[in-house]
Amino acid sequence: MARWMMITGALLLIAGAIWQFAPWLLNWFGRLSGDIRIESERVKIFIPITSMIIVSVLLTLILRLFKR
């Protein structure tokens, strides 16, 4: 359990560093063709369907690699 928490923490640290120092690497995330964005004067709605599918597939592949 501790090993998984350390790996998760390291991955979050890397993701945070990328987001802080190189935000242009993640500009595409949330702007894919299947992501729904509705904006009006009072309300902003964002539903990242395609982005979350990509995240789900990547996490599934990573977890299956670690499981073996």
62 within some domain: yes
16 within some domain: no
36 within some domain: yes
Question: In angstroms, what CA-CA distances link 38 with 27, 28, 33, 42, 49?
Answer: 19, 18, 14, 11, 13
What is the per-residue pLDDT for 50?
94
pLDDT 10s digits, 30-60: 888 899 999 999 999 999 999 999 999 998 9
- Confidence check: pLDDT of 29 > 90: no
Radius of gyration of the chain (CA): 16
- Count of domains in the chain? 1
What is the per-residue pLDDT for 11?
87
What is the per-residue pLDDT for 27?
82
- Domain hosting 41: range is 24-68
What is the per-residue pLDDT for 39?
93
What is the per-residue pLDDT for 30?
80
